[in-house]
Amino acid sequence: MHKRVWMIATGSILVSCAYAALYGDPPDELHAWAVHDMNRPRPPVVIPGATPGQPPSDAIVLFDGTSLDEWVSDKDGSPCPWRIVDGAMEVVKGKGMIRTKRAFGDCQLHIEWRTPTVIEGSGQGRGNSGVFLMGTYELQVLDSWENDTYPDGMAGSIYAENPPLVNASRKPGEWQTYDIVFHQPRWEGDRLVRPGSITVFHNGVLVQDHWLFEGVSTHRRRTQPKRHEEKLPLKLQDHGNPVQFRNIWIREIPPPEGDYTTGPYRKKEAIAARRAETARMVREDAEKMLKAGQKVDGMRRLLESLIYVADPATLERGTAMVAAYVQEVSQLSGAAAEARKGEITGVLNDLDYLVRFQIAPGLQPHLEALRAFAQKQGWLKK
């Protein structure tokens, strides 16, 4: 931690500093972290699939060509009544929809499908199936290669609501892909506070661009919103055509509200809580450094905690440490001063930042004293 060396420009000086603290604009009411904040949590590491479309390490594989174990009959929960043909899962006419054993809410879903090579039927009767997110919102599966039908029922459509932006269909019998990002509607009591949304790439082409669901899927009637469980199984439709599926995987994703510290739904209380938590973590880290005898690093880390919360006790203690520090280094000269140039200019950076952003304006006299010292050493650029 904090071992990377960054060159930091502060006003007229260029200093190297042991870590990227006190660098970008500080946290504020609407931002839990500074710009370029090294205290910001790192996203979890996910190993992507070997090739695009293959499941990443955190995906739940729902069908890999070998087993129907993740699926059951939607009618009665009995074992999946569809069949496996050459590594693909095929609809068995009349057996009804199937659903996953597990339930999901917001998700990223990858699914591959193909309609029969031999064309039978027309319009809605040709290669019809469907991907029902949460068993409720249908992304239509249909052979839409030179097969006219109502646009809000073609491949890539949100059934009964919205046609795809373009028709990106491949020929019958060719494998096609859907890559889906789905968010369910959010309710507070009986009030719909945010509609659900869906983004879909059909064979890599954008066909649904964050479509906001009007309601739950239906037929002939205008769709209406309807409150449902927060997690529900994914379903695939039996519409009487032997449509095949393969390589199905899903990743559960957080709601767009996140933890309310970033994005359009940010809340000041959540941001303040997060800042307090980060301040506590940084202070604890500072204590460990001080205990280990790392006096200067510990002091700097303690000062760093102030950008999250201007804790009065920490401010007082930090100010006393800075006063003693400046007093000490001001006595240095020649090689002794030169040997500590990196460290001293680093502290100078910190004091400059804390004063400039009004985080600890009381440090002003110490900043001036240290700057004068650095000036005397010839460390500051003209």
Residue 216-255 contact track with Mg ion, rule CB under 5 A, x = bound: ---------------------x------------------
Q: Tell the smallest beta-carbon distance from residue 218 to Mg ion (Å).
A: 12
The half-sphere exposure of 214 on its side-chain side, counting CA atoms within 13 A, is: 11
Amino acid at the residue 211: W
Binding segment toward Mg ion, per CB under 5 A, in 121-129, 294-302, 312-320, 345-353: 121-129
Binding segment toward Mg ion, per CB under 5 A, in 25-33, 56-64, 123-131, 268-276: 123-131
Q: Which is nearer to Mg ion, 144 or 237 (CB)?
A: 237
Which pair of tokens denotes residue 67? 């087993």
Does 135 sit near Mg ion (CB under 5 A)? no
# binding residues, Mg ion (CB under 5 A): 3
Q: Which is nearer to Mg ion, 154 or 351 (CB)?
A: 154
Cα 119 from Cα 379, distance rounded (Å): 80
The residue nearest Mg ion at its CB is 130
Q: Which is nearer to Mg ion, 100 or 237 (CB)?
A: 237
Which pair of tokens denotes residue 340? 């500590």
Residue 179-208 contact track with Mg ion, rule CB under 5 A, x = bound: ------------------------------
Binding segment toward Mg ion, per CB under 5 A, in 7-15, 58-66, 126-134, 275-283: 126-134
Q: Tell the smallest beta-carbon distance from residue 157 to Mg ion (Å).
A: 9
Q: Which of 26, 81, 105, 130 binds Mg ion (CB under 5 A)?
A: 130
Q: Which is nearer to Mg ion, 177 or 237 (CB)?
A: 237
Q: Which is nearer to Mg ion, 123 or 255 (CB)?
A: 123
Binding segment toward Mg ion, per CB under 5 A, in 63-71, 124-132, 163-171, 326-334: 124-132
Q: Tell the smallest beta-carbon distance from residue 178 to Mg ion (Å).
A: 13
Q: Which is nearer to Mg ion, 219 or 226 (CB)?
A: 219
Q: Tell the smallest beta-carbon distance from residue 125 to Mg ion (Å).
A: 11
Residues in touch with Mg ion (CB under 5 A): 128, 130, 237
